[in-house]
Amino acid sequence: MPPVFAILGVARIAPKAFLAPSRGLCEVRGIASRSPGRALEFAREQGLSKAYGSYLEAIEDPDVTAVYVPTPAATHVQWVSRALLSGKHVLCEKPFSLCGNEAQALVAQAHSAGLALMEAHHSYYHPLRPAFMAAVAQMERIDSVEVVFDAPIADETDIRLSSQLGAGVFLDFGGYLLSWLGWVTEARGGAGLSALEIESALAQVRPAEIDREMRAEARLNLPEGSVRGLLSCSMEPGVEFRARITVRGPKAGVVFENPLSLEGSFLETSEGSRITSPPAPSTYRGQLEAFCLQIEGGPVARHTGQELIAMQTLQERVYARAGLLSRFELSRVTY
């Protein structure tokens, strides 16, 4: 039986990342908000049957079997834990938590309850990813890997600039970069995220401790030896959107342009071949299909369990290498 979802929070991402891909796949019973009026307005706009007066009311609805959590990052742990305690499966937007210890505790809670718990990393379900993996696997040798994600954020009231809610470009964008490096290690027969080590990091901060730009260097421990990985991301107002994976070797290279979306994405090799994205449902649809399949007893989805913990731990290490407070520590500091 398909899962019945409730959404916690009237986040801007919810219609695109969850409601649209849910059609014909699962039931979305309703939406909850800290403001009952906002929940009612969202439910009417999106054609949902129910507007809950609080997150807790949605979680305790006996007809709901799963929740989607797109609330601000610093609130994820509280509501993910409460949902798991009520026996609900949880799909949680990235960043899943503010530190590795929080992630480890929630993964253990989900495992003990026999519930599905997944961090939303939709780019894994891009239809060009298998071709990218195959191209990287066929390279004679890899010399370096570079991953980039820049997107401007001009609104100074954006929650990603709030130290209490989970601030910083790497907390928000960095999971993509780490995930993409993990694809490369897997393609070469390595251990995904577990094969990554953070060597150094440098942040541009404004105001104190809030990274607007982050550049980091990682080591990819592959079966053939160690490879240098460069990560960079920016949310400065003046940057242009970029999302790209570049894998370089002595004779060959592979570029994956825009792994985030089907629009404008392509795969290009140094030999001159170019593959554009085939017609396919959105990456968000693939993500939700995988999560629903796990709920229904199918294979375990990606970005669950130890992979989820590894992601949060690596993000925490980047901040440490940059000489910044962990996002968990920052959320408890008042400036």
Closest to 104 in 3D by CA, of 318, 321, 304? 304
Beta strand 225-234 pairing with 211-222 = antiparallel
Q: Tell me the residue type at 327.
A: R
Query: Is the CA virtual torsion 3, 263, 186, 273 positive or negative?
Result: positive
Pairing of strands 253-257, 266-269: antiparallel
Q: Quote the tokens at residue 176.
A: 């993509």
DSSP 156-167: TT-GGG-TTT--
- What is the DSSP pairing of strand 225-234 with strand 144-150? parallel
Give the separation between CA 157 and CA 246, rounded to whole angstroms. Answer: 33
The first and second tokens of residue 73, run together, are 């990052």
Q: In 3-state terms, what secondary structure has residue 143? A: coil
Count the helix, strand and coil residues of the chain and give each as a percent rounded to the nearest 5.
40, 25, 35
Alpha-carbon distance 57 to 77, whole Å? 18
CB 163 within 8 A of CB 284: no
Catalytically annotated residues: 94
User: Which residue do the tokens 């942040």 mark?
Assistant: 203
